[in-house]
Amino acid sequence: MQVSKWGNSLAVRIPSHIVKQLGLQEGDNVEALFTRLKSKEEALRSLKEIGKKLPSGFRFERPKD
């Protein structure tokens, strides 16, 4: 996900396919881990280390470095 400017703040938009997979709605509370990752492999390793599982059918869509 990409960090964008939103007023005087920064924001991260959640892609619609993730919103649908998780069944998120406006006003829901979510737990987020913010880490700047440099590669897909680093991101997947980080998720595995903290014991988080991706939703069934999740596709990691990150541009190549």
- Distance CA(39)–CA(64), nearest Å, equals 8
- Distance CA(14)–CA(4), nearest Å, equals 12
- Distance CA(65)–CA(57), nearest Å, equals 24
- Distance CA(32)–CA(47), nearest Å, equals 12
| pLDDT digit string, tens, across residues 40-51 | 787 778 777 777
Cβ(6)–Cβ(23) under 8 Å?
A: no
What does the chain come to in residues? 65
| pLDDT digit string, tens, across residues 10-63 | 988 888 888 888 899 999 988 877 767 677 787 778 777 777 777 777 776 655
